[in-house]
Structure 1
């Protein structure tokens, strides 16, 4: 019997991407609410309680409201794509490759919080180094990133694509989150196993989908003896056997003159790089992904697949 999937917020950017990934599948039945009825609370509540898995593609407060709509004895399983529950101990964090046991936690969980796009890249780089002991817990981590403008949802898409709007954005590249209090910082700290919040500087480029996340490191501040090669070895060992998250060989990284943020646009994978020189003082860790793929909708579908395999 096909599993019943309800995408609450299916008409938004993330919801539409999830729906397109599931449209041709015969192992799931999509429960849908017409766009004109998306604010019909009674209809939403009925669909939420009728699903096997509900995927919430909503703002934080609306996600919390949706969870509150579940009847007391209902065992509907939830994947939430907002920031509302990403550091909650009652929710499994939906980054399956984060550590060796995470996929099983997701598979058996009732409540799964989908990671943010920027944190997926940052945690993907930081967590293996914390687990291996190369990165001290109190290291002053910096995360610099650029995302495609679809990460800002329908409003930013319109601002970037419609020059006639009063609030149109003409910049080809801009920084934001200038107060250094971006909503993704708490999950980077918590799931990156860091003592201090990282200094996070996000930006947006004039391209629809794609993302580069950078974590620069000073070797002298890491565990004694840490090198370009040992960092690469730790990442490679952590993701051994994975096919969604991969680590580029050092020789490949050394051969590159540039990285295109759109290289993985339309894909649900993530590729990690270690840049530097032998005997150098610094390394630059880079994650390449699609902000709507492994950074959002692709991860939600990956988590759904794990939950359906329980």
Structure 2
């Protein structure tokens, strides 16, 4: 079958990585999957022309609003995969909520990454409850890289011996929903007590205005560093060498950074929100925190050997 798969494909973001995984799975099952950036299409008519030109038989979208709104009315079956933004952010906006409900009316199926996401969607759109299923994300194999830890430390302007460092890695696109500044002051205080402790924020500049705010804050905050996006294979090399991966998001669907850290057997500290709590079992597969001071209160390196 020839499939169209729509997703927002900003480089080195969780959405792009998830879309690539889904595409690889579909192609491994014998389908032809044409992955396209939803932002490249301005209207359903452009999608219609593309479907005809490529002789497509079905379609999928990652995100009910961002991609799904372009799929109804083209005469081919389609399904959608919920994103965290759908259920945590867009659902609060009246017009977007209405559009998403109409998309679900025509969709053949909808996939949520967790049971809590499924339950939220069923409460919001009860007419679609029988077509919503749960399927967790998988972990894709990442090729080896020559990128090394010393290179990362130089790029982060951390001038200390690698043997004595405890680097906490926050991986996120710079936008407000990821709340990268939530832990900045707490980690700076920790760094001033324990100079070996650093927090490094890694990710693309998604929101230009918010990015300026983050850069200004980090610049004047000891113990916190900010570097731009990294190729995925290089980022995996960094994750393997860091002390722990941190997530401070206001909302998540299912964090790719958390999943990949777990797969690489790296400790995870995650903000206690439904999307994270669905993945991280406190003090078993990671640590959940509810306020900025929690990660540093009484925490020593040995405490993260989960």
Larger relative CO (CA 8 A, sep 6+): 1 or 2?
1
> Which category of TM-score, normalised to the shorter sequence, fits these structures?
0.3 to 0.5
